[in-house]
Amino acid sequence: MKNLNKEISFKIFYKNPTIKELTEGLLDNKYVTIPKALEAISYPLTSAQKRLWILSQLENSSIAYNMPGAVRLTGEIN
């Protein structure tokens, strides 16, 4: 809720189903921005990215997790 300079967690959001209850939860919280990461040549991998890298190495450099390509759709899509 950046526009209101307030922050609310999912827990508070779902525990307070009415606007009145939600407003009370907002009164105590200030919005905190996430700082921008410094530019670098490379960045640390997440656990999920590490797992995918290890799996790709076990499969003799399979491209199963990296399939580049594009599809162009024309006409109406239902």
Name, in order, each residue with C-beta under 8 angstroms of 52's C-beta and a sequence gap of 6 or more.
65
pTM across the whole model: 0.34
More confident residue, 47 or 78: 47
Does position 78 have pLDDT exceeding 70, yes or no? yes
Domain ranges of the chain: 2-33+43-58
pLDDT tens digits for range 10-44: 787 788 788 887 777 666 666 667 888 899 999 99
pLDDT tens digits for range 47-64: 998 988 888 777 676 666
**HEC assignment per residue over 12-66:** HHHHCCCHHHHHHHHHCCCCCCCCCCCCCCCCCCCHHHHHHHHHHHHCCCCCCCC
